[in-house]
Amino acid sequence: MKPTLEAQVQRLTDIEDIKILKLHYARFCDDNYHPDGISSCFTEDGIWDGGAMGYAEGRTAIHEYFTNSPSIVAFATHYTTNPIIEVSGDSADGTWYLWQPMVMVEGEQAMWLGAHYEEQYVRQNDVWLIHRLKLHIKQFAPYETGFGKTRIADINI
């Protein structure tokens, strides 16, 4: 049975709200890893799992993690693209591609980061929040050599 027009509009509205949430997250990251902003995108028991980049569980731990990030990453621009978002009531799953030029503090090393996000969202009090974010790194390479010669660089993060 085909969903009602109201249900279709709600689904599209939910998807757009989640896209806006992701945009806020990316902008907070690009604003010198603004810990108040980033942590506000997560549920109280949210998980940020960056794989080799680190792990934080709970909004307070996420805030603490990102408080330290500017001492490691001097500059980053998060390009999040190609979302696929599946909504089911007050929860949703999403995937995104990430293309991120960045500069590490140590040695002012310019890097390319390519990855994809796997995320779970929940709606709480009519607001979508990230419940779990998992970063799957595909490439992390110095600007000079690029990912053709160095797919995953050995850098202490």
* pLDDT tens per residue across span 99-136: 999 999 999 999 999 999 999 999 999 999 999 999 99
Return the structure tokens found at 138.
Answer: 């595909």
The residues with which 134 forms a beta bridge, in sequence order, are 49, 118
Report the CATH number of the 5-149 domain. Answer: 3.10.450.50
Domain spans, the chain = 5-149
The mean of the pLDDT values for the chain is: 95
Give residues with Cβ within 8 angstroms of 14, minimum separation 6.
85, 87, 92, 123, 128
Quote the pTM value: 0.93
Average pLDDT over residues 61-82: 97
